[in-house]
Structure 1
Amino acid sequence: MQSKWTEGRWREANVVISVHTTTSGLGYDLRDYLLRRGVKRLLFIAHPLLFFKENVKLPSRYEFYEYGTKAQEGKAPHIFMPEYVLYGKDILFTLYWSLRIMGRHELFIGIGNLNALSGILLRMMGFANYVIYYVIDFVPKRFQASIVNTLYHFVEKISALFASATWNLSPRMIDGREEKWKRAFPRQLVVPHGVHYSRITRVPVGKFHAHEIVYMGSLLEKQGIQLILEALVDVKQTIPDVSFILIGKGPYKKNLERLVKKHKLSKYVTFLGYIDDHKRVENIIAKASLAVALYDKMSDRFSYYADPGKIKNYLGAGVPVLMTDVPYVAKEIERNECGFVVKYDKREVAKKILDYFSHVSLQEQYRRNAEKYAKQFDWDRVFKNAFDQTSRLVS
């Protein structure tokens, strides 16, 4: 693998990426990175992420590229099946498209354990030389049904044992897996979530909206958005031009709208909905003064082990983040003075917002710190480091 993955040898490689996703995410970022690097042939397989119930209606699909140009695309017939059966269907289509369209290939990257399992099966059949298992959602209790949860962890274990390398979003994923199985796993790397740092147009100090708060992501109860709304009741008394922008959609939206109505916050809160244009999202974030990621430790099983992408997007736009200490990255952000860690408590949230908005010099310093800290997470740098480490690991 050393000869294939050192910089400058990309045109020799045939690569398959398989991912469960929506219309964006790190799978697309990885696809675009490889295409920019001049990969010879690339098969990108995207299955609907069934965590979002509306995605059950979407088909699996693929894109096939030769020397950076899309040569072919297609999709599977839509089949109405129980959710767990659909995951089996996804494995079958990954195998079918990989064999029919790509054939033999140097590298299979499976984002998520089911996709990694597909790659391991292809390697067993002699069609893939190397398999990378890219872990994005390790959690001890992934599903409520114990049988399904046991099966999930069995597949996760097999993937981590037999992949050529495992890319974990945070060290906690490695620790959690070892704690679960009471054993070490080979060839483990930490590949943090990145950001399109070089693409983002950051707003100069003095030109951002000094009293604007922004949230980007799914509108879920566990994200703590309601704490900001409750905090605004107090904040607006001192800072009457405070505003809160929400970018995203989700099942908790109606509850949030009821809170806005209850507390008479309509003039302070704007729901922008889901925005497909990520450059526009980045521009909206960059104009804000403070971003929020208030994960609820009691109900959020995922974020403790993960490296949430929204946080890197906030910091990459030069916007400090107000967050709880659930994700691994929280202490790093606090240590680098590009954000604040608070308890999951509306009074503490309101106090921190008021304190931050009352000190212009603090806002300016934290913006500079956020920009500096986020630079190391530019996707090009993250993926280059990941492939370089993988080359050394398996050579």
Structure 2
Amino acid sequence: MRYQRIACVINDLAADFFKLVEYFSEFSEDFYLYVYPERGKTTPAVFKHYHKGKLIWKKNYSWYKGKNKAIICLVQYLYFLYFLKKLRVRKTYFIVHEIHFIFFNSLVTFFTKNKPVLWAGDGCPDPRQSFFIRLLYQLSRFYMRRVKYVYFTSPKNDSLLLERFQSGDKNKWVIPLGVTDIPADRLPFPNRFGFIGNLREGLGLGLILEAARENRNFYLEIVGDGKYRNDLEKLVKEYEIGEQVKFLGYLEYPQMVKTASRWQLAFATYFPSPKNHTYYADPGKVKLYMELEIPVIMTDITYIAEEVKDLKAGEIVKYDSADIALAVDKIQSNYQDYMDGIRKLKKQYFYKELYKQGFSTLEKRL
């Protein structure tokens, strides 16, 4: 096998999107997995053990029902320690994508002989946002310099963290999120569009609703939930577009894929600013749209926007409702070209090729 022992600590949304589970379960002699619910969800945590590609053990664990961020992080970390003990994970590379799992890594390494691997998904451009963010930022600076293996999903995040955390460039690589090469099963409905993600400010959802108000043939399905949902529902009522907009809430991955397969196009209209952490990220929703071969309308915020534009895999728009409406018309008027473009882009991010090259260092046995 390519790898001897690999462990992965990841939330359920990332487990569905990132293809790490598929990759390491196939190419590792032993692969240990701890999946915890994305923040805001209370589904059980799951421990799994794969041996030579086969799932040989699995167990669910109940989860904290509250919403306190500090307690959620603590519960995630305590389950992580229990995961290492329960599955007797030793002399193993363990991959995490949230910084708090490498806190106290010297002690964890001393007792278990494991090696932490941080795959950083986004940056923290403005630590003054809150006390909690500032605390994580300071701890991140401390630990980033002490973890040997650090990977980034975005070259922008690479530059930010190398500068902010002064972590140097030894053993630091950029590994973007990969997608499957399986052709998507698509049957798009005319004038049906979609959005997937947490419902919060700064995602352009209000602008999308404004575009829908001006076009009665604009039907939008919103997958996800969050504190901004009430405000959006009020806007829908105010704009009198209740027949055009559906809030579907959180969907399990298979149902989400089935729903999205009906969309002509999808939105990733983040507020385009370096103060937005998504500026430094590789947004999972864009890669999901890519995997499902859905042309995307997005703002010029992440590194992949330029590739979307060059390959005509979608339209890059200003943070403006009129520009969003114009992009919808452009894609609909020449739809096959955009479908060809998103398929070309998808081929460039096949996960087996990306991860084989990116994680090659982990082939060395501990």
Residue in structure 2 matched with residue 364 of structure 1 by the alignment: 336
Amino acid at match of 2:229: K
Mapped contact 2:331–2:338 kept (Cα < 8 A)? no
Q: Deviations over 1:189-233 (max 9, x none)?
A: 111122334163245xxxx33422211222222211121110122
Residue in structure 1 matched with residue 34 of structure 2 by the alignment: 45
CA distance in 2, matches of 1:105, 1:27: 27
Relative to structure 2, which stretch is displaced further, 24-33 or 300-309? Answer: 24-33
Residue in structure 2 matched with residue 374 of structure 1 by the alignment: 346
Amino acid at match of 1:116: I
Which ranges of structure 2 fall in alignment gaps of 5 or more residues? Answer: none
Residue in structure 2 matched with residue 32 of structure 1 by the alignment: 22
Q: Is it true that 1:16 corresponds to 2:7 in the alignment? A: yes
Mapped contact 1:109–1:116 kept (Cα < 8 A)? no
Relative to structure 2, which stretch is displaced further, 333-342 or 95-104? Answer: 95-104
* TM-fit CA distance, 1:33: 2.3
* TM-fit CA distance, 1:268: 2.0
* Aligned counterpart for 1:308 among listed residues 283, 297, 309: 283
Q: Deviations over 1:32-69 (max 9, x none)?
A: 322233x333332234444x3xx4x6665533344422
Residue in structure 1 matched with residue 139 of structure 2 by the alignment: 155
Q: Is it true that 1:258 corresponds to 2:234 in the alignment? A: yes
Tell me the matched-pair count: 365
Q: TM-score, normalised by structure 2?
A: 0.87
Mapped contact 2:314–2:331 kept (Cα < 8 A)? no
* TM-fit CA distance, 1:82: 5.4
CA distance in 1, matches of 2:63, 2:218: 49
* TM-fit CA distance, 1:345: 1.0
1:187/1:259 Cα in 2 relative to 1: closer, same or farther (>3 Å)? same
1:243-322 to structure 2, matched below 5 A, reads: 243-276=219-252, 278-297=253-272, 301-322=276-297
1:193/1:250 Cα in 2 relative to 1: closer, same or farther (>3 Å)? same
Mapped contact 2:46–2:61 kept (Cα < 8 A)? yes
Secondary structure of 1:71's counterpart equals: strand
Structure of larger gyration radius: 1
* TM-fit CA distance, 1:78: 4.9
* TM-fit CA distance, 1:294: 0.7
CA distance in 1, matches of 2:222, 2:310: 27
Mapped contact 2:273–2:301 kept (Cα < 8 A)? no
CA distance in 2, matches of 1:121, 1:145: 29
Mapped contact 2:225–2:249 kept (Cα < 8 A)? yes
Secondary structure of 1:229's counterpart equals: helix
Amino acid at match of 1:253: R
Identity, in percent, stands at: 22
Which ranges of structure 1 fall in alignment gaps of 5 or more residues? Answer: 1-7
Mapped contact 1:94–1:118 kept (Cα < 8 A)? no
1:156-171 to structure 2, matched below 5 A, reads: 156-171=140-155
Residue in structure 1 matched with residue 360 of structure 2 by the alignment: 388
Mapped contact 1:170–1:191 kept (Cα < 8 A)? yes
Amino acid at match of 1:268: Q
1:60-99 to structure 2, matched below 5 A, reads: 61-67=46-52, 68-75=54-61, 78=64, 83-99=69-85
Residue in structure 2 matched with residue 177 of structure 1 by the alignment: 161
Amino acid at match of 1:166: V
Mapped contact 1:161–1:185 kept (Cα < 8 A)? no
CA distance in 2, matches of 1:247, 1:80: 22
Amino acid at match of 1:386: G
Amino acid at match of 2:193: I
1:58/1:282 Cα in 2 relative to 1: closer, same or farther (>3 Å)? closer
CA distance in 2, matches of 1:199, 1:251: 35
CA distance in 1, matches of 2:276, 2:92: 35
Residue in structure 2 matched with residue 5 of structure 1 by the alignment: none
* Aligned counterpart for 2:195 among listed residues 215, 220, 241: 215
Amino acid at match of 2:211: A
Residue in structure 1 matched with residue 120 of structure 2 by the alignment: 135
Q: Deviations over 1:143-170 (max 9, x none)?
A: 7334x44431233234433333212110
1:197-212 to structure 2, matched below 5 A, reads: 197-198=181-182, 200-203=184-187, 208-212=188-192
1:76/1:230 Cα in 2 relative to 1: closer, same or farther (>3 Å)? closer
* TM-fit CA distance, 1:85: 4.8
Secondary structure of 2:92's counterpart equals: strand
